[in-house]
Chain A
């Protein structure tokens, strides 16, 4: 069964279309990523799925419940970790969890058990009695993830779960997210603008840009679309003859010679290196160095949008500002 079903979902803020007719489904137990630059519409999408924003048009269902008509049922079946901390910093960690579990109608005994369990999961048991204002950024994030899990949601939304965290904490959080997904079977939808995060965590990724989806598939398939790995060989000897040899191999998709370096595109480059070296040796050419580069999601993003994610962010900064102003005016009315 699909935990998320979205059809032509759209959100407009006055003139600006933040999310533009996106459609996708996420199956039960999937770890699905929305990847894109800031301002691509990821958070707006999440806010609609979590009932915080009403869609302008289109359909969205979470666990089979419509996000506009069955809001309470949707709210009951989801957990969410927002991009900016949403904790009461004057309460302790445990009190924040107590607040949450009571809002979700859990009984005393169940609360005690679940809170102890999630605190242990994110390794905050010892800090549970400390006011949140004394927590580090990583601890707050972990507490929020713990909180998102207390009421056993079917679906967990994580909005930029590792934004602004140091490399070590990020790794930690990644491990939690994986563990949750694999061991507890929670369906997870996360947004990120970190390519390596989407690559490391997500079973499937939607590449989002300017409110729409540019592509949607597994990270591997997306990368394969680019034609595979690039193997570079730096060589000495009869280059012309070797080039002809390489071109005659049917699994070499592209062969380029630049000065004394061949760049060859192929699938599973790691398994072809020995063969390439022996072909070179038979042609009487010395191989000085070999380099294998796998395409990253960054390359995929570039391929689909024609920009690197950084360029896209820069060009959207202006758009975002306009969107924020429009949003403020609307809310202030």
Chain B
């Protein structure tokens, strides 16, 4: 059922495309960098409301910005199906004698790798503006959360890519899905500051648990504790991957 060569070759294609578009990598680092530089430096002296002790805002912000980069990168990795459809390459993939599951897994593997690279690059950039991690093993834990966050949102991207068939749907998704997910996740401030009805909404945002988990892993501050975050994030990731694969399969085999 799962054809590992097909998964590998789809992943390989994604890698080649990613590393060949050097300007795009640079471009995708711009937004996280500006967020870190301007928000981080601007608010750095202020106390983070709802967090005990003295904590630089930059330290609080970095895990959130890593989460944001993963969100953007992953949703669009899922949506890259639209790109392939637009440029015809999707047909080449679809007539190949490999199971549709392998195709989805290849896409997820490719998207996940680029999202991880992106997350690590953002982390590297944040070191330039003075960020320090709490402990080295924390990085490994953070990587685990990165994997879960990126697979969740690649799944989400695949779901959207199966519904919308043209590139115009792109900006709508950007404005009405990706940005609310980002702002509701607690990437920029502790969710305890939100009015309660908004806070309830934030519990339905997968990124909430991803960001909280990353914060726990990287700076040892989290609202929920690592185990719970891992559990919830793992469940969401599995569900999203399943739904993404299911909708892709359904939409492409009419």
Contact = CB atoms under 8 A, between A and B. Distances in A.
B17 A52 contact: no
Interface stretch (B92-100, B134-142, B152-160, B174-182): B92-100
Interface string A78-100: 10101011111111000100111
B98 A89 contact: no
Contact of B95 (A50, A89, A90, A91): A50
Contacts of B163: 332
Given A52-B91, A54-B254, A332-B165, A75 B96 contact: yes
A85 B93 CA distance: 13
Given A51-B95, A52-B95, A88 B13 contact: yes
Nearest to A90: B17
B22 interface: no
Interface residues on A, range: 20 to 34
Contacts of B6: 102-103
Interface in B1-54: 3, 5-6, 8-9, 12-13, 16-17, 20-21
A80 B8 CA distance: 23
A53 B254 CA distance: 6
Nearest to A333: B163
Contacts, number: 75
Given A54-B254, A87-B89, A105-B5, A328 B97 contact: no
A86 B9 contact: no
Contacts of A72: 97, 99
B contact patch SS: helix
A87 B96 CA distance: 14
Given A50-B95, A103-B9, A332-B165, A90 B88 contact: no
A89 B94 CA distance: 17
Contacts of B92: 82, 86-87, 100, 147
Contact of A332 (B95, B96, B97, B164): B164
B87 interface: yes
Given A103-B6, A105-B5, A78 B95 contact: yes
Contacts of B253: 54
A76 interface: yes
A113 interface: no
Which 3 residue pairs are nearest across A and B when measured between Cβ atoms? A75-B97, A86-B88, A103-B96
15 contacts: A72-B97, A75-B97, A76-B97, A82-B91, A82-B92, A86-B91, A87-B89, A88-B13, A88-B17, A88-B87, A89-B87, A90-B17, A103-B93, A103-B96, A331-B165
Interface of B: 3, 5-6, 8-9, 12-13, 16-17, 20-21, 87-99, 163-165, 251, 253-254
Given A52-B94, A84-B88, 8 more contacts: A82-B92, A86-B90, A91-B16, A91-B17, A95-B16, A100-B96, A104-B97, A332-B164
